[in-house]
Amino acid sequence: MQNIVEQDVAASATPSTESTAASRHADASAQSTLDSRPRVLVGARQVDDSARRQVPELTFLISTLDDGLYSVPRHDALPGARFLIVHQLSDPARREQYREYALANFDSRFEYLAIDGRGLSKSRNTALAACATRYAYVLDDDIELHPQAVALVMEAFTCTEAAAISFPHVKAFPLHERDPDRPAPPVSFKTHSLMSLARVRSVDMALDLCQFHARFDEQFGLGTDQPSGEEFIVLSDARRQGARLMRANLGIVAHAGVTSGSDFYSTPAKARTKGRMFARATGSRFSPLSLAFFLRKAPVAMKHGHLATFAKHYFR
């Protein structure tokens, strides 16, 4: 009897093969869950060019504010992509709430960085500094990406060796372009002129961060009293620095909403901002480019009933 009792005690004290396997499976599942979660960055970081050259990949830089985080897509159609979310908080008390949402809803393709304050250009600059890869694409929180976006951008940089390439955004992708298994369409490129830079929106911009060293002017952009124009200024600064700037004929971003620069006439601040944008980029409020823009866009402002506002404040 003693032997039987001892055997029973030993059996109860030693895990069975099945329970050991179950425990290992649970541990593996827990580790897999941790591995599949986004990386939360604690504080802003600064990555230098030498480190980026070691990582010749592409990161999509997503800027969002407060509850805009809930609009950020998971981009499941791009399993090999990398994303960095810079999340500006106007209420720091909600930091933990947003952090938990990010951990629960994004996977290991994402990095998440929460910062206090407002200002889209500030967010863009924070993202550019923190980007760990050589190539970056600037995004908002409400866009759709072409299923071949990564391949198209990387091939574009291989072909052009440019510091920046703009891909014109579209309202929606044609049905035949939404198939991730379909071969990527052919793309052609042209060199940007100063005037063509005025048509670029921030969600059009792909950058080689080892060549592109201009940064957004934080006096311009959403969240400031000059709510647009930051894209033209940063690209103009880069052009002045000698950067090679190209434009593609294919959009890889679908953005159904109205971009901030599209309405340049409806309020005094918007009209004034557009004039000051050209003054900042060209050095003169009455430069040929500024005058050409005014003459070309005045009929648009008139069509929408805002010619007086546009004309009165554009040159101020």
Task: Say whether pLDDT at 2 is over 50.
Answer: no
Radius of gyration of the chain (CA): 25
The 10 Å CB-count burial string (b at 16+, else e) for 51-68 is ebeeeeebbbbbbbbeeb
pLDDT per position as a tens digit, 113-165: 999 999 999 999 999 999 999 999 999 999 999 999 999 999 999 999 999 99
| Three-state SS at 149 | helix
Among residues 25, 183, 44, 204, the alpha carbon closest in space to that of 111 is found at 44
Report yes or no: 111 and 39 within 8 Å, Cβ to Cβ: yes
The Cα–Cα gap between 191 and 10 comes to: 78
Distance from C-alpha of 31 to C-alpha of 27, rounded to nearest angstrom: 6
Distance CA 64, CA 90 (A): 11
DSSP 228: S
Which pLDDT belongs to residue 172? 86
Q: Write out pLDDT tens, residues 194-239.
A: 999 999 999 999 999 999 999 999 999 999 999 999 999 999 999 9
Q: Of 310, 308, 309, which is closest to residue 293 (Cα–Cα)? A: 310
pLDDT at 22 over 60: no
Vertex 174 angle, CA 171 and 180, to 5°: 110
CA distance 41 to 191: 37
pLDDT of residue 256: 78
pLDDT digits (tens, 9 = 90+) for 62-112: 999 999 999 999 999 998 899 999 999 999 999 999 999 999 999 999 999
Contact 169, 204 (CB under 8 A): yes
Q: Would strands 205-208 and 164-166 be described as parallel, antiparallel, or unpaired?
A: antiparallel
| pLDDT at site 20 | 53
What is the pLDDT at residue 255? 86
| Residue 117 Ramachandran class (φ > 0 left, ψ -120 to 50 alpha, else beta) | left
CA 38/CA 16 separation, integer angstroms = 35
Note the pLDDT of residue 260.
61
Phi, psi of 169 (to 5 degrees): -70, 155
Burial of 156 (0-12, 13-18, 19+ CB in 10 A): buried
Instruction: Specify the higher pLDDT residue, 174 or 236.
Output: 236
**Coil, strand, or helix at residue 187?**
coil
Please name the residue ranges forming H helices in the chain.
2-13, 17-35, 49-52, 95-105, 120-130, 149-160, 194-197, 230-240, 268-282, 288-303, 307-313
CB distance 72 to 141 below 8 Å? yes
Q: How far is CA 59 from the centre of its chain?
A: 8
- C-alpha–C-alpha distance, residues 270 and 158, integer Å: 38
